[in-house]
Each structure stands twice: as structure tokens, then as C-alpha cells.
Chain A
């Protein structure tokens, strides 16, 4: 028990000592990880998708966030994905496993359109 505590203490000291370097290293690690299972964000503001078109690598999870006072939906034109209605600040995510073009729109306000381009 005592020994393990001591080891833990040592580890803490080491971390503090090389603090700057360690933090940098871990953020590099996170970034590398994001590349293999990457993520992208689309915000809904003022009845529009921003950005309206995004290009992402296969395997990317795209998350839409509704920042309007009015509910919206995210619906694939080709019926690939379809969110429930998103009230203010609600999110919808979809992971794109196949390359291709995925046009989508808001089924409540069909003038709102967007596109996800998935590349290999």
C-alpha cells in the first residue's frame, strides 16, 4: 500500500517537472487519434447550415447542432440518414462509412440545404 502511494507520488512529481512537454505530447496524440476516427461539425444558424458543404474522409462522424430558436431537422435527400426534430442546442450525429456525395436538407424548412462530401 505504502509503496504504491510512493510510486504514485513519484509519477506526479515527474509530471509536474516535465509538465509543458507532457501536455504538448498528449495533444499531439489526440490529434493523431482524430485523424483515424475524425469528427466534423455543422452549425445551424439563421435557417442555414454552416458550412453548407463539407468534405471529410471516410469514417468521419459529422455532428449538427441547432443554434436557432426554431426547430430544424437534418434529412438526407437520398434517405441515407434522418434526424429527429432538433430543438434549440440539440445535436444529431452521423458517421459516414462510404465515400460519396450526401446532399441533405431540413424537412421542415426545405430551403435549407447542405452537402457532405466523403472522400477515401
Chain B
């Protein structure tokens, strides 16, 4: 399969002022490396190779954090026989960032088979990150065989229901949602009525100027329902966030980078630290993409999110591990 080089965007975004009521769909595929700045709901993205052209003030803010996803510890197939090494590489990249992130978000599929030793290995590797706090949400691979009991024991202290929660950091309201439990035959990811009710209450008291960051494993927008890449009741969840000026949704699951801006909401998916998956519909199934060893690290990565206080802006940098 021929792929674009890592610094080339497949779909260049409009830099000429997009109407924020309008609909902008843009995709930066895994490994392209996109730096994205959202201002007033409008997203601008830059290729990583063009970061030097940016005003440094746009890259620095009062709060920055890093999203990693889909470490799939325990996976050992040809696509990537050493997922521990690539997670370690991700941590090294995080530790080398010029603006140290305050914390990490892990958007699920921590483990491959929900085995205790897989979680242990990830915890051990993440201990070497200079950012000490890690906030998790589960992926479907983290709740196998026990309806998520082990996940809750390990990561769900103080969380509600199957592990959802919210917290504040420097005026930004973060909401971790769980959409990998109680999945119905033929369906997509599901949040469920209890979680939706909790979410509605959780944001009710917040000022509409509060920046919101929602993170969950399966995309909260219909990326490709044919492959299960979407969440049944995500529209309901997003409807509770309509009043806010800035909403960013961070997801994993699809092992590639994609972005979409819809009104006040910017959706963003992260690459995996373990193995890449094909573009929607470009393979018989969403199984692991086997790529040459020298190409693998350019398709894996981390997402560095930098919140600029006062501008309602989130800058998102995708870095690959290459």
C-alpha cells in the first residue's frame, strides 16, 4: 500500500477562515503529523514540518497534556512484535517535549487481552514518564471476560458506573466516558442511559465559557459505522455540550489520526502506540495493518494537546514515533 510521507497532509485544511457554524471535515491520517489549533471553534492544522512557521505563542498555553492510546500490551503479531518497546518510545518522546505536559490521557485498549501482567507492564512503562498523572478510560480490550471489574479495581477509583468521571484542570473541564460496555449485537459503541444522565448533570452547573475536553475510547462520531467505528448514542451526549464555546473530543480505537470540526465541537482521534489500522473501507477488515518494520514507527504516535487559556483554543500536535 502506498502511503503519503509523514509530513504530508492528505487533506489540507482551509486556512482562509472557516465559518464556525459550517461543517468542516478534515482528515490527517496516521503518521502525517498534524499540529492543530482551534480558535473559536475553527480548526487550523499544520504539518509538523511547518511548525517553525507558527507563532510560538500559539504553541504555548497555560495547560498542555498528552494523549496516548491503544497500547495493546500483550499483542505480539507481525504488525508489531514488541508493543512494549513502542510504548517506551512514546514515553521517551513525551519526556523530550519542550513544553512538559501536566498529565497524560490514555484513551483505552491499555491491554490486548485484559491480562493482569499486561496492565502491570503498561503501568511500569508509564511510571518512567515525567508527567506523573495518567487519566484512563477503558477500551473494549480492557474489559474482557469480567465486565470490566479488573479495570475498575485498577483505574476506576472514585469513578462512576463503569468508570466514567470528570475533573478540572486550570479551568478546563475534562470528562472521561466509557463506551465499550454492554455492546449490543449489530450495534456500535454505547454510552447508555445512566452515563448520559450523569453527563447531563455533570455539565449543567458549568459556565458556557468553560472549555470542555471529552475523552473516550471509541469515536463519539460516525467515523465508519460499517466497521463499528462510532457510538450509538453519541449525538445525545454531544447535545448536552451545545452551550459551550469550546468542546474537544479525543478518541482512540481506530489507530489513526482523524479530525472533524462540527460547530463548537472538534473531534480528534489518536494513533496507537502499538499497531496501525487501515483507512476506513480500504481493507477487508479493520485488523492490524502489517507494514514494513522501518515504516512502523512513523504510523504510531502520541498526541500533544496544548490549551491556550483565554482564546478558547486547543492546539493539537500529532507526533509519530519515527
Contact = CB atoms under 8 A, between A and B. Distances in A.
Interface in B73-87: 77-79
Given A71-B112, A85-B144, A87-B113, A110 B187 contact: yes
Nearest to A47: B285
A107 B180 CA distance: 9
Contacts, number: 57
B158 interface: no
B145 interface: yes
Given A71-B141, A111-B227, A85 B114 contact: yes
Contacts of B227: 47, 111
Contacts of A77: 185
Interface string A78-120: 0000001101100000000000000111011111010000000
A30 B317 CA distance: 63
Interface residues of B, number: 24
B22 to A, nearest CB: 31
A96 to B, nearest CB: 18
Chain A residues touching B, majority SS = loop
Chain A: number of interface residues, binned into ranges: 20 to 34
B112 A113 contact: no
Interface in B166-212: 183-188
A78 to B, nearest CB: 10
A110 B77 contact: no
A63 interface: no
B40 interface: no
A87 B228 CA distance: 20
A69 B144 contact: no
Contacts of B263: none
A68, A88, A107, most chain B CB atoms within 10 A: A107
Interface string B70-109: 0000000111000000000000000000000000000000
A111 B186 CA distance: 4
A82 to B, nearest CB: 10
B288 A110 contact: no
Contacts of A107: 183
Contact of A110 (B78, B112, B141, B228): B228
Contacts of A85: 113-114, 144-145
A84 B112 CA distance: 14
Nearest to B286: A47
Contact of A70 (B78, B185, B226, B287): B287
B185 A110 contact: yes
Contacts of B288: 69-70
Given A77-B185, A85-B144, A110-B187, 11 more contacts: A69-B77, A69-B79, A70-B287, A71-B112, A73-B144, A87-B113, A103-B185, A108-B140, A109-B140, A110-B183, A110-B228
29 contacts: A46-B284, A47-B227, A47-B287, A48-B285, A68-B285, A68-B287, A69-B77, A69-B287, A71-B113, A71-B141, A73-B144, A84-B144, A84-B145, A85-B113, A85-B144, A87-B113, A103-B185, A105-B185, A105-B186, A108-B140, A108-B144, A108-B183, A109-B228, A110-B183, A110-B186, A110-B187, A110-B228, A111-B186, A111-B187
Interface of B: 77-79, 112-114, 140-141, 144-145, 183-188, 226-228, 284-288
